[in-house]
Amino acid sequence: MRPGVLATVQDLGRKGLQHLGIVPGGAMDPMSHRIANALVGNPAQAATLEVGLSGPELAFEDDALIALHGARFAAEIDGAPLPHSRPVLARGGARLRIARAGAGCFGYLAVAGGIDVRPVLNSRSTYLAGGFGGSRGRLLQRDAVLPLAPDAAALGADRFARATRRRRAIAAGRCQTVAWFAPAATLPEHDAPVVRVVEGVHAGLFDEAARVTFFAERWRIAPDSNRMGFRLLGSKLGLASPAEILSQAVCLGTVQVPPSGQPIVLIADH
């Protein structure tokens, strides 16, 4: 009904194709993706809807067992607060509205049976730059229809029945949830998160001040970041002397420093 800011279908990505120029992609927060799937009884690879910053508004045509996990979004189902990190049995016709994230950035909406879009190269993940996978290779659009598993309603009802004997009614009794929840695994509770770094083969090209600054400074993620990389805002990192290096393979988490001196941490679509 409303597309949100950055909503795409994702799974755990396309492995083993980087030598052909195909990025691994997949969920930006794979742990939260796995937990969301576990909450509805899916295998880890099942496709979810990844929601970034502010989410979409969705209408369910049939009953579905759902779970929202990851970043803490303000969310409502049929006008009532949606319990976070719990399985919720949504009835056909229910409207789910996911608003802004109060903590974190990426969350995952899992549905029992998974989102059943057509696999491309053994993955249902959306690769935006390539224009393939997911829902037509693009961000979720208004009036888009996401197919679920043919037996999603029956599957959800069966799994919810086995998940608990203590049910809680929500949304004026139209939907149901459980008394337990999965704790957040990737959100910092109080202090700023600390990221561990291993020096690469080119670390010696930077001057001493840059190396000290890189490890000691608190960095912020720039607004022009995307699924390929997080641009970091902070002090510029300088080289000990001008140098050029040959292009070479990179992996998830590689930190590149372009001529601007502002580091880029490579993420899912590296």
Beta partners for 103? 72
Clarify whether residues 39 and 147 are in a common domain. Answer: yes
Please tell me the predicted confidence (pLDDT) of residue 110: 98
**pLDDT tens-digit map of 149-180:** 999 999 999 999 998 777 889 988 889 999 99
Rounded mean pLDDT of 60-68? 97
**Does residue 188 lie within any of the structural domains?**
no
Q: Is residue 104 a contact partner of residue 136, using CB atoms and an 8 Å limit?
A: no
Rounded mean pLDDT of 88-114? 95
**Does residue 185 lie within any of the structural domains?**
no
Amino acid (one-letter) located at 106: F
254: containing domain: 203-266
Cα–Cα nearest to 9, from 119, 125, 95, 107 = 125
More confident residue, 243 or 66: 66
Beta partners for 58? 96
Amino acid (one-letter) located at 156: G
Clarify whether residues 132 and 226 are in a common domain. Answer: no
Clarify whether residues 151 and 208 are in a common domain. Answer: no
Q: What is the CATH number of the domain that holds 245?
A: 2.40.100.10
- Picking from 137, 161, 178, the residue at the C-terminal end of a domain is 178
* Model confidence at 268: pLDDT above 90: yes
Clarify whether residues 130 and 225 are in a common domain. Answer: no
Q: What tokens appear for 3 in the block? A: 């597309």
**Does residue 195 lie within any of the structural domains?**
no
Domain count across the chain: 2
Q: How many CA atoms lie within 13 A of 109 on its CB side?
A: 28
Q: Is residue 84 a contact partner of residue 71, using CB atoms and an 8 Å limit?
A: no
Cα–Cα nearest to 262, from 229, 220, 224, 234 = 234
Clarify whether residues 165 and 262 are in a common domain. Answer: no
Clarify whether residues 210 and 164 are in a common domain. Answer: no
